[in-house]
Structure 1
Amino acid sequence: MIRIFKSEETRIKTLEAPEEGCWIALTNPSDNELSEVTRRYGIDQNDLRAPLDEEERSRIGIEDSYTLVLVDIPVIEERNNKDWYGTIPLSIIVCDKVIITVCLEDTPILTDFMKGKVKNFHTHMKTRFILQILYRNASMYLNYLRIIDKKSDMVEKNLHKSQRNKELIELLELEKSLVYFTTSLRSNEVVLEKLLKVDTIKKYPEDEDLLEDVIIENKQAIEMDNIYSGILSGMMDAFASVISNNQNIVMKALSVITIVMSIPTIIYSAYGMNMNVKGMPLAGNPHGFIIVIVVSVVLSLVVALWFSKKNMFR
């Protein structure tokens, strides 16, 4: 899908055909749309297709007629019938007369620009537009990281009640999301550092504060991601230890019960053998059966009481 926008005074106008100073937004574009953009602006089609590959790395590419800025943006993905988080590439291509964005799917980062919700946004101010996209991208990472932190707290509360596989899998999914974020944020940091040195993208004094804000926001996102990753990793290890400890407690209790129940079993097994009754104690006593049962029960109770004093049932 291809959409064309241009800012006019205080509003964003949708165009039918490209004009100088416009913004061309490509979302999961078709081959025909890619070919049309390539023909009109002389952009290598491999650069246009780069953000359509989810594994494409963040980078800056400088060509004769355009400059490519490719970063990773956070997205919500559905896994196991629940919303989790991942990243996909977004490219910003700066040409002489237009600016082009290419992404695999619609993202709130660009949607707000399209709806005119971003202050001081002008399609012809390419440098500021790039910085505004990067700033909102870093802010989106921070927002999703806060949501991940809240989700991990909820999962932790559920784990205190029941150590089930469901909660552990949810923790694993959250940890996976944080790994995606860590890799993408560090790649974006390299792009921001290189953006400072690129001469093909003009730097204006009025945009210096915005560039500093972008770098600060991205670093904050990296630090927050590292903190949450450490907390989540420690939580996973702690609950793994708790589950292992609970299993050991259960196995210990079962072993103690087995020992206690084996006492009457040994006695009954001895009396159940086909042996001469003259050699068996109490074999000639009319109350011998009851006496043997009482003795075995008493011995079991004595052993059970001893184990209880040693806290072996806990």
Structure 2
Amino acid sequence: MFITYKSSREGILEIIEKFEKDCWINMTAPSKEELTEVSQLCNIPIEFLRDPLDLEESARIQYDQETNCTLIINDFPTIDMNHGQFDSYITIPIGIILGTDYIVTVCNQSTNSLENVIKKNVNTSMKSRFALEILFSISTQYIEKLKQLNKQRLKIENNLRDSLTNKQLYDLMEIEKSLVYFLTSLKGNGDIITKLFRANSVKLYEDDKDLLEDVKIENNQGIETTELYTRILNSITGSYSSLISNELNNTMKTLTLFTVFLTLPTLVFSFFGMNVTLPIGDQDPFSWMIILIIALIFIALIGLALWRRRIS
């Protein structure tokens, strides 16, 4: 589907029924027929409309000299629908196409980045600035999602202090996966922002350059924050891995001590249970007590030896 907007004289985006000059066409999960229609009516290469729909498409900027169109592909964060019980994130591409008379955005799903732009007083006739507003909104979305991920990490960390479960470790893995997606996409977006400073196909005025500088600052802040959270998460997972290993060692040591202490009485009782002549015979009514005392003496000696070696 697609919705067509155009700025009013007051700078408010209004939905229009037909394509007009200096309008914005927002395409969300479009069909092949819709892609063909927009390509023909707006004189946009069909590849510019199809490429952003590929989830594996990397961030890039491309100019088509024949149609005088510029394609900007950036990645934005979105919730991973394959993990419903936890807010894990992935990044998917969005295409911004600057044509002679139109600006087109195309993506596989709706995004808050475009919704935030709709709420602003923007002018669709200023195509370069409009594109920068979208890029700025995408950069701020990363900062907001990073804050949410950090809150989830703090919550999991507090729960880990009380008890350690596999679910909590899986949730930490999902956060780590989200941070990997963020860092890769933010660095790719940063390369595009750098190229926009010297791209001849995108005309920038002084105010546009200031906005582009703000986009760069927000993107760099996202990269630095993601790297910081990644280091913190690696430190946490490493610490808890050591704790798990230490707990396992303590458990194995306890089981080993129980085995040693239970084995000594068994050896003594087995020795006196042999069918041979021994110093203590069946005629002595207190023979069982003597055997028990011998077993306890062995246990006490082994326990003292282990205590001196600081094993128990």
Q: Give TM-score scaled by structure 2 length.
A: 0.94
Deviates more, 1:201-210 or 1:167-176: 201-210
Cα separation, 2, equivalents of 1:235 and 1:53:
35
- Partner residue in 2 for 1:32: 33
Question: 2:60 matched to 1:56?
Answer: no
| Aligned positions of 1:157-172 closer than 5 A | 157-172=158-173
**Per the alignment, do residues 173 and 196 of structure 1 end up closer, same or farther by CA in structure 2, a change over 3 Å counting?**
same
Q: What is the alpha-carbon distance in structure 2 between the residues aligned to residue 46 and residue 12 of structure 1? A: 27
Specify whether residues 305 and 164 from structure 1 end up closer, same or farther in structure 2 by C-alpha distance, changes over 3 A only.
farther
**Letter matched to residue 151 of structure 1:** Q
For residue 5 of structure 2, what is the aligned residue in structure 1?
5
Residue 126 (str. 1) matches residue 130 (str. 2): no
Q: What pairs up with 1:139-150 in 2 under 5 angstroms?
A: 139-150=140-151
Matched letter for residue 86 of structure 2: K
Question: What does residue 94 of structure 1 align with?
Answer: 98
Alignment-derived partner of residue 74 in structure 2: 71
Instruction: Count matched residues.
Output: 308
Shift of 1:229: 0.7
Give me the identity figure in percent: 37
Q: Provide the secondary structure at the position in 2 that maps to 1:26.
A: strand
Deviates more, 1:18-27 or 1:105-114: 105-114
**Aligned-pair distance for 1:301?**
4.2
Map 1:260-299 → 2, pairs under 5 A: 260-273=261-274, 275-276=275-276, 278-299=277-298
Structure 1 counterpart of 2:47, one-letter code: N
Describe the superposition over 1:22-73 as per-residue Cα deviations: whole angstroms up to 9, x where unpaired: 1000000011100101111232222211111111000001002210000000
Tell me by how many angstroms 1:232 deviates. 0.6
Work out whether residues 152 and 171 of structure 1, in 8 Å CA contact, stay in contact via their aligned partners in 2: yes
Deviates more, 1:282-291 or 1:233-242: 282-291
CA distance in 1, matches of 2:24, 2:279: 102
Deviations 1:156-211 (A, max 9, x none): 11111112211111111100000000100010011111111111111111222111
Structure 2: unaligned runs, 5 residues or longer = none
1:252 aligns with 2:237: no
Considering only aligned residues, what root-mean-square deviation do their CA atoms show, in Å?
1.6
Which amino acid in structure 1 is aligned with residue 98 of structure 2? V
Equivalent residue, structure 2, for 1:103: 107
Contact 1:271–1:280, Cα closer than 8 Å, also in 2: no
SS state of the match for residue 83, structure 1?
A: coil
Q: Report if aligned partners of 1:256, 1:307 keep a CA contact under 8 Å in 2.
A: no
Q: Per-residue deviation at 1:258?
A: 1.0
Q: Which moved more, 1:161-170 or 1:38-47?
A: 38-47
Q: Which amino acid aligns with 1:286?
A: P
1:300 corresponds to: 299
Question: Per the alignment, do residues 171 and 312 of structure 1 end up closer, same or farther by CA in structure 2, a change over 3 Å counting?
Answer: same
SS across alignment from 2:285: coil
d(CA) in 1 for partners of 2:30, 2:176: 32
CA distance in 1 between partners of 2:210 and 2:108 (Å): 30
- Please say if 1:215 is aligned against 2:216: yes
CA drift of 1:312 comes to 3.1
Conserved 8 A contact 2:12-2:122 = no
Residue 181 of structure 2: aligned partner: 180
Query: CA shift at 1:298, angstroms?
Result: 4.2
SS at match of 1:89: strand
The code of the aligned residue for 1:128 comes to R
- Indicate the SS of the match to 1:196: helix
Separation in structure 1 between the aligned mates of residue 209 and residue 44 of structure 2, nearest angstrom = 29
Given that residues 75 and 94 in structure 2 are in contact (C-alpha distance below 8 angstroms), is that contact kept between their aligned partners in structure 1? yes
Q: Which amino acid aligns with 2:99?
A: C
Aligned equivalent of 2:199: 198
TM-score (norm 1): 0.93
**Residues of 2 paired with 1:308 and 1:30: CA distance?**
76
Name the counterpart of 2:43: 42
Q: Deviations over 1:228-285 (max 9, x none)?
A: 1111111111111110111011111111111111110101111222x22x33534441
Aligned equivalents of 2:172 and 2:307: distance in 1? 37
Residues 60 and 72 of structure 2 are in contact (CA less than 8 Å); yes or no, is this contact kept in structure 1? yes
**Higher deviation after alignment, 221-230 or 76-85:** 76-85
- 1:299 deviates by 3.1
Find the counterpart in structure 2 of residue 112 from structure 1: 116
Aligned to 1:13, what secondary structure does the other structure show? Answer: strand
